[in-house]
Amino acid sequence: MEKIHYCQLEPHFHLIDAYYQQFSFQRHYHLDFHIGLVTQGAQVFRYRGQAYMAQAGEVILMPPDELHDGESVQQQGYQVKVFALSPGYLAELAGLPAQPESAFFDQLVVKDSAVFSDLVRLHLCLNQHPLSSLVQDGLLLEGFQLLFERYGIQVHEPARRLGRRSLQELKDYFIAHLDQPVRLTHLAQLCHLSPAQLQRHFKATTGMTPYAWFAQLRLEQGMKRLQYGARVADVAQQVGFYDQAHFCKAFKRQYGIAPSFVCRTS
């Protein structure tokens, strides 16, 4: 049986402690940078058309806005501890300029016992509430230091363009209209493209259609609001679902848990 615990520490990062057995993640993306520590078992996932496996003692470094899936390699499942950090905050911890695309790593799966041990200790320490802000900040800087030193790189990627708009601009538009119907024709007008052109370019850029990408964004935003303690019924309405039942079904299909579970354990 799946066991998943979310812990919101700050607006820019949270922790996940999970055991997955039968649940398989379908193709999805995260708004945050996910740093996963496989503590038991093994996970297989597909990223940019290639399959990867992360076993116990290895670290997964998954960038934001990148499609991937995931499932257990073995019948007994796997355990994982995750740091979910906003791109800007990750860059800040790395001592880089405040540019969301600047902090990256040169590997997707890292096998390094010293780095793994540092991060497991950090995850355990951060779960021990309450911590003062000063202590928490110091732990984060120390805990990620070796990871940044050995595998961190600085990359300045150009904005991904969709006609006259960037993907980030469209993301901002979607977030501002989470509870409203969004038409492909209007998005196309914003980008100075035809609907067919936008659909084609959007899928080539993100790997998903605008509709599927927006649906995922609604769930990601729903997760964030639940972590802040919002009521499930309110969140369902805020992120544009027809009713609470539809939201709960989509949420559990995406994350493997009911949204009410997030509320109780945040």
Here the CATH number for the domain that contains residue 184 is 1.10.10.60
Give the end-to-end CA distance of the chain in Å, rounded to a whole number: 20
- Over the stretch 213-259, which tens digit does the pLDDT of each residue have? 999 999 999 998 998 889 999 999 999 998 999 999 999 999 988 89
Q: Specify the CATH number for the domain of residue 27.
A: 2.60.120.10
* Nearest Cα to Cα of residue 35 among 96, 81, 87: 81
Same domain, 208 and 226: yes
Give kind and range of the element (H or E) at residue 152.
Answer: strand 152-154
Query: What six digits make up the tokens of 201?
Result: 């370019």
Domain count, the chain: 2
Same domain, 123 and 165: no
Give just the sign of the alpha carbon dihedral 134, 140, 145, 151. negative
Cα Rg, the chain, nearest whole Å: 19
Quote the domain boundaries for residue 141: 3-154
Q: What is the pLDDT of residue 156?
A: 67
Look at the block and give the residue holding tokens 């003062």: 132
Q: What is the pLDDT of residue 132?
A: 80
Q: What is the pLDDT of residue 50?
A: 95
* Nearest Cα to Cα of residue 71 among 35, 51, 43: 43
Same domain, 165 and 259: yes
- Percent of the chain beyond pLDDT 70? 94
Same domain, 22 and 90: yes
Same domain, 40 and 106: yes
Query: What six digits make up the tokens of 251?
Result: 């949420």
Q: What is the pLDDT of residue 129?
A: 67
Q: What is the pLDDT of residue 264?
A: 47
Q: What is the pLDDT of residue 70?
A: 96
Same domain, 59 and 134: yes
Q: What is the pLDDT of residue 228?
A: 83
Q: What is the pLDDT of residue 104?
A: 83
Supply the pTM of this predicted model: 0.90
Same domain, 41 and 113: yes
Residues of the chain with pLDDT under 70: 97-103, 129, 156-157, 263-266
What whole-number distance in Å separates Cα of residue 101 and Cα of residue 219? 23
Same domain, 7 and 121: yes
Choose one of 105, 120, 154: the last residue of a domain. Answer: 154
Same domain, 8 and 138: yes
Same domain, 254 and 183: yes
Q: What is the pLDDT of residue 82?
A: 97
Sequence-ordered list of residues with C-beta below 8 angstroms from that of 9, at least 6 positions apart, any chain: 15, 126, 136
Give kind and range of the element (H or E) at residue 51.
Answer: strand 50-55
Q: What is the pLDDT of residue 4?
A: 87
Same domain, 187 and 116: no
Same domain, 113 and 23: yes
